[in-house]
């Protein structure tokens, strides 16, 4: 019985494009007492794998937290898999503001100690004794009350690109850090103020509201369904948005726009920008904000040091990373002396710029292609690129696509190429192919054969 992924992210992306089906990005959570999280996890994987569901899901004895992507046509079948459990019957599925077919490319379900790490070891703390849920209209109204204190229970890199006006935005990297900070800061307002809280989808506030009621706060409220559900209700009811900017999300999109306001800056040049990226250096992967101009100039890197590393031969890069945690195991959360325009803590409520009108994110990729391999090196003076063929064969005369986060998508006809120092007509799996390219490639680039 298959209980784990068998395809790479690249292979899955190609399958999604080839299928041509609309996918939905959604999230949900439930606090409950699960006796056997491992069995629950395995049962979910079997059921959801059949439905081509992808995502990142955490299961614990205290419940489930899920962010997912599913084919739209399988939505009702997916709901049916949740109806067999008492604590997920009729559960609200938060649909993303902006859907993206590539928001998730693997189905990952992990068993954790807790679905939200809180650092608490208080057995008298009842996570089900929660605050009052507020819908968008009620949330807007209570924000206008002068006796209201509104707190953002997300992390500094989330609130930097978007938050509710007037909110307390703790300068923290984890949820567990924010609980004692806010508790101490508001000790004198346990009875005379409305403590109103929000987060991305509601799961952190669900626990936070119960915690602050446990600490003796009398008037505790939370935004039902978080920012995601708030944005949905704004559109449905024509309400004013008291949230400004972009909502950070933990999938490949890294954000979805709520208002056209840009309230943050490129961390490298200071230009108004709210697009997050991860440093291209596999030994770094710093999460930071980078504009298109700096992305091109710095090749997706956060610093001159990392830029130097990514232009080294791959063997030297691997040597530098020896014995260190790298790649997806690294998630540095946007704190570095190299980031000159990073802001956190007390944040502004005014826009620095306006976002350009986005293309339809649901538009399907029209080009039919098959992955061939990846970039290995670029010879600057000769304008020559080298690629390793990992799948299929490459032939002289093939139409190819070179694609990457900085390179974009570049099509060309491959008239001649070299393998092992000799010009040839065909390259097989394992060959290193060298040919002229009229643009600079990066090690993050992939090469595809265009079909038809």
User: Does the pLDDT value for residue 253 go beyond 60?
Assistant: yes
Convert 188-235 into a string of H (helix), E (strand) and C (coil): HHCCCCEEEEECCCCHHHHHHHHHHHHCCCCCEEEECCHHHHHHHHHH
pLDDT at 123 exceeding the cut of 60: yes
Average pLDDT, the chain: 89
- Which residues are registered as beta bridge partners of 109? 57
Tokens of 360: 């339809």
Q: Over range 5-12, report the average pLDDT.
A: 74
pLDDT category at 11 given cuts 50, 70, 90 is: confident
Predicted structure pTM score:
0.72
Q: Are strands 107-111 and 54-60 parallel, antiparallel or unpaired?
A: parallel
Identify which of 370, 383, 369, 377 has the alpha carbon closest to the alpha carbon of residue 433.
Answer: 377
Q: Which CATH architecture has domain 132-237?
A: 3-Layer(aba) Sandwich (3.40)
Residue 364 clears pLDDT 80, i.e. is over it = no
Q: pLDDT digit string (tens) for 270-296?
A: 999 999 998 988 888 899 999 999 999
Q: Which CATH number fits domain 9-111: 2.160.10.10, 3.30.70.100, 3.40.50.720, 3.30.70.3040?
A: 3.30.70.100
Q: Please answer whether residues 26 and 74 qualify as being in contact, where contact means their C-beta atoms are separated by less than 8 angstroms.
A: no
CA angle, corner 280, sides to 10 and 287, nearest 5?
100
Q: What is the mean pLDDT of residues 113-138?
A: 86
Mean pLDDT of 120-136: 84
Q: What is the mean pLDDT of residues 235-255?
A: 92
Which CATH architecture group holds 369-450? Beta Barrel (2.40)
User: 9-111 and 132-237 share one CATH topology?
Assistant: no
**pLDDT-derived band at 424, boundaries 50, 70, 90:** very high
Residues contacting 262, CB < 8 A, separation 6+: 245, 246, 272, 273, 274, 351, 352, 353, 354, 355
CA nearest to 450, candidates 394, 399, 389: 399
Domain ranges of the chain: 9-111, 132-237, 260-354, 369-450
Using alpha carbons, list the distances in angstroms from residue 163 to 15, 35, 73, 246, 279: 36, 37, 33, 8, 24
The full DSSP string for 318-379 is HHHHTTS--GGG--B-S--TT-TT---SS---S-SEEPPPPP-TTPPP---EEEEEEEEEEE
Is pLDDT of 331 > 50?
Answer: no
- pLDDT confidence of residue 418: 94
Distance CA 149, CA 169 (A): 11
Residue 60 · residue 112 · CB < 8 Å: yes
Cα–Cα distance for residue pair 285/66, rounded to 1 Å: 24
DSSP one-letter string for 103-171: S--SEEEEE-S-SS------TT--TTS--EEE-HHHHHHHHTSTTEEEEE-S-HHHHTTEEETT-B---
User: Cα 218 from chain centroid?
Assistant: 35
Please identify every residue annotated as catalytic: 199
% pLDDT > 70, the chain = 92
Contact yes or no for 322/59 (Cβ under 8 A):
no
Per the CB < 8 A criterion, the answer to whether 223 and 205 are in contact is yes
User: What are the pLDDT digits (tens) for 45-56?
Assistant: 999 999 999 999
CA distances from 275 to 109, 168, 257, 268 (A): 28, 22, 10, 12
Residues paired with residue 194 on neighbouring β-strands, in sequence order = 148
Model pLDDT, residue 22 = 86
What mean pLDDT is predicted for residues 216-233?
95
Query: What does the pLDDT look like over 61-116, one tens digit per residue?
Result: 999 999 999 999 999 999 999 999 999 999 999 988 877 888 899 999 999 999 98
CA distance 272 to 289: 10
- Which structure tokens are listed for 105? 């490319």
Q: Kindly provide the b/e burial profile for residues 336-368, where b requires at least 16 CB atoms within 10 angstroms of the residue's own CB.
A: bebbeebbbeebeeeebeebeeeeebeeeeeee
Say if residue 354's pLDDT is above 60: yes
Tokens of 425: 């007509």
């Amino acid at each position: 019985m298959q209980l784990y992924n068998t395809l790479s992210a690249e292979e899955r992306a190609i399958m999604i494009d080839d299928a041509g089906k609309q996918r939905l990005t959604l999230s949900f959570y439930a606090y409950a007492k699960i006796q056997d999280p491992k069995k629950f996890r395995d049962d979910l994987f079997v059921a959801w794998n059949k439905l081509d569901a992808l995502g990142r899901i955490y299961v614990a004895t205290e419940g489930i937290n899920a962010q997912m992507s599913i084919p739209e046509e399988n939505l009702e079948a997916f709901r049916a898999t949740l109806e067999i459990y008492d604590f997920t019957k009729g559960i609200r599925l938060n649909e993303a503001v902006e859907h993206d077919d590539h928001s998730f490319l693997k189905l990952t379900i992990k068993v954790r100690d807790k679905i939200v790490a809180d650092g608490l070891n208080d057995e008298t703390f009842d996570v089900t004794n929660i605050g009052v849920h507020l819908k968008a209209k009620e949330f807007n109204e209570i924000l206008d009350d002068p006796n209201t204190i509104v707190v953002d229970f997300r992390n500094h890199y989330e609130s930097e690109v978007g938050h509710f006006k007037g909110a307390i935005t703790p300068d923290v990297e984890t949820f567990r850090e924010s609980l004692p900070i806010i508790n101490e800061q508001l000790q004198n307002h346990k009875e005379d103020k409305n403590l109103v809280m929000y987060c991305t989808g509601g799961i952190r506030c669900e626990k936070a509201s119960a915690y602050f009621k446990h600490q003796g706060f009398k008037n505790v409220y939370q935004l039902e369904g978080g920012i995601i559900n708030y944005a949905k209700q704004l559109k449905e009811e024509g309400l004013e948005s008291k949230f400004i900017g972009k909502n950070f999300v933990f999938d490949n999109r890294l954000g979805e726009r709520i208002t056209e306001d840009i309230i943050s800056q490129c961390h490298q040049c200071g230009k108004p920008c709210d697009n997050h990226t991860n440093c291209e250096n596999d030994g770094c992967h710093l999460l930071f904000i980078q504009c298109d101009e700096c992305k091109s100039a710095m090749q997706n890197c956060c610093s001159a040091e990392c830029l130097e590393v990514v232009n080294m031969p791959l063997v030297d890069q691997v040597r530098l990373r020896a014995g260190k945690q790298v790649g997806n195991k690294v998630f540095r959360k946007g704190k570095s002396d190299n980031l000159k325009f990073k802001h956190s803590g007390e944040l502004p409520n005014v826009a620095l710029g306006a976002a350009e009108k986005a293309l339809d994110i649901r538009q399907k990729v029209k080009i039919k292609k098959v992955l061939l391999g990846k970039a290995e090196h670029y010879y600057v003076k000769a304008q020559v690129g080298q690629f390793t063929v990992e799948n299929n064969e490459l032939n002289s005369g093939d139409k190819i696509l070179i694609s990457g986060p900085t390179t974009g998508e570049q099509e060309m006809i491959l008239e001649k190429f070299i393998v092992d120092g000799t010009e040839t007509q065909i390259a097989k799996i394992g060959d290193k192919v060298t040919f002229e390219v009229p643009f600079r490639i990066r090690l993050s680039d992939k090469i595809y054969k265009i079909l038809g």
